[in-house]
Structure 1
Amino acid sequence: MPNAQYLLFTSIYKLESHIIDTLKSNLGIPIYSIGPTIHYYRLKESFSVTTTGHNNDINYVQWLDSQPKALVLYMSQVKFLGGDKGLVVPWCDQLKVLCHSSVGGFWSHCGWNSTKDGVFAGLPFLTYLIFSDQIPNSKTIVEDWKIGWKVRRGMGADEHLVTREEIAKLIQRFMDLESVEGKEMRRAKELQQICKNATS
């Protein structure tokens, strides 16, 4: 890095100004936040695409089209048993699903790419971090941006087991669009606009 002329970050200054300013002052070279590297223009294409070519016989977009607005919770990196209330697919275009009008929340492991996708889609998060950068990403989502709740509490020896009953109650509260908490979480739409402006 000492030989670099400048650094490019796939981030948004308005969302991470304190971090970018600190890096600028410590490194002494120009730093540019170039916004999220999201295939936004491809996303504007019709949602009614088939998913063939990804070893997936299920048209998950068609399933999403049949669901009520903002009542689907998208879950990544977890095992799930849904019966007739859910759909499990081996692969999907995550950003396309997150931007679908029937999706109202994102259960995420908080990897940075998933975090960017969720913010771009304007969704609140249920964070279930596992390791590495997911820990500060979850903190940013929950404490700084205030658009998410933690599901996992503690790490390692300090971890508190979250029971299925607790998860069921949490999801029910989280997906309640009419609750005070639910309305506050919809602040995610403000971040979505910041993200779209940066992409433009």
Structure 2
Amino acid sequence: MNTNSMQAATKVCHVVAVPYPVYSVGPLIPYYELDCKSSTNVDEMVAGFKISGVRFLWVARDDTYRLQEDCRDLGLVVPWCHQLKVLSHSSVGGFLTHCGWNSILEAGFAGVPLLTFPLFRDQITQCKQAVEDLKVGLRLKKEMGDKTLVTREEIAKTIQTLMDVDSSEREELVKRAKEVQEICQAAVKKGGSSDADLDAFIQNISQG
């Protein structure tokens, strides 16, 4: 190795060795739409809600009209909503979610217990965090994978368990959800951990 090569190698090693702060902003993954028209689980979900007798708001990006026709007696189906505003409303008693990370965070911020229905990838890990670690939700789907069918009877029973105001299980879920809410809201307040990290990040990039 000649002198110039040795100097270059030394510079590379020096750059790699310099410590840099790490800011967690993931997971950054594409959005994968679910095809409601071909999903038997969606039909079972509609039937399960009807059996449960629980009123609901369903955000369905696809096939909204058909679902609204099927659900008109108990629920409202819309193509979009401001999710955090809906979750923060006092009349919302639970949130059925595929366990996308943003949804988990927004439910935590709003203090709403979950019914988890993960399909793939990071959703499965986040379901475990919500149900087993944070203990703020129930598993609507016991087995993982987008092809796993959950029957309408199972769906209705789990929904009723979550929404039963006299249930000790719901009482515990709500208690835990409120504890998570306090943590989340404290993090984003002035001087909280998220606020402090964002300030540190801006300061670092401003200094080059």
| Same fold flag (TM > 0.5) | yes
| 2:142 counterpart residue number | 153
Cα gap change, 1:75 to 1:141, in 2 (>3 Å):
farther
Contact 1:74 1:106 in 2 (8 A): no
Match of 2:154 in 1: 166
Q: TM-score, normalised by structure 2?
A: 0.60
Q: Distance in 2 between matches of 1:192 and 1:160?
A: 31
What is the CA-CA distance between 1:9 and the residue it aligns to? Answer: 2.6
Measured after TM superposition, the shift of residue 94 of structure 1 is: 0.6
What residue is the counterpart of 1:197 in the other structure? 186
More helix by share: 2
For structure 2, the 5+ residue unaligned runs are 1-15, 27-53, 190-208
Go from structure 1 to structure 2 and tell me whether the alpha carbon gap of 1:185 and 1:144 turns closer, same or farther (over 3 Å shift).
Answer: same
Between 1:147-156 and 1:131-140, the stretch displaced more is 147-156
Determine which of 103, 118, 126 is the counterpart of 1:129.
118
The unaligned stretches of length 5 or more in structure 1 are 12-70
In the TM superposition, 1:1-200 aligns within 5 A as 5-9=20-24, 73=56, 75=58, 80=67, 81-156=70-145, 161-186=149-174, 187-200=176-189
User: 1:135 & 1:77 partners in 2: Cα distance?
Assistant: 21
Letter in 2 for 1:168: A
Q: 1:74/1:5 Cα in 2 relative to 1: closer, same or farther (>3 Å)?
A: farther
Over alpha carbons, which structure has the higher Rg? 2
Aligned counterparts of 1:189 and 1:72: Cα–Cα separation in 2: 22
Corresponding residue pairs, total: 139
Contact 1:110–1:138 (Cα < 8 Å) also in 2: yes
CA distance 1:152–1:192, change in 2 (3 Å): same
Q: Provide the alpha-carbon RMSD of the alignment.
A: 2.6
Give me the whole-angstrom Cα distance separating, in 1, the residues matched to 2:73 and 2:142: 30
TM-score (ref. length: structure 1): 0.62
Structure 2: distance between partners of 1:189 and 1:115 = 14
Whether the 8 Å contact between 2:57 and 2:75 is mirrored in structure 1 is no
1:135 CA drift (Å):
0.8
1:76–1:107 CA contact under 8 A, matched in 2: no
Q: CA deviation at 1:92?
A: 0.6
CA distance in 2, matches of 1:146, 1:72: 24
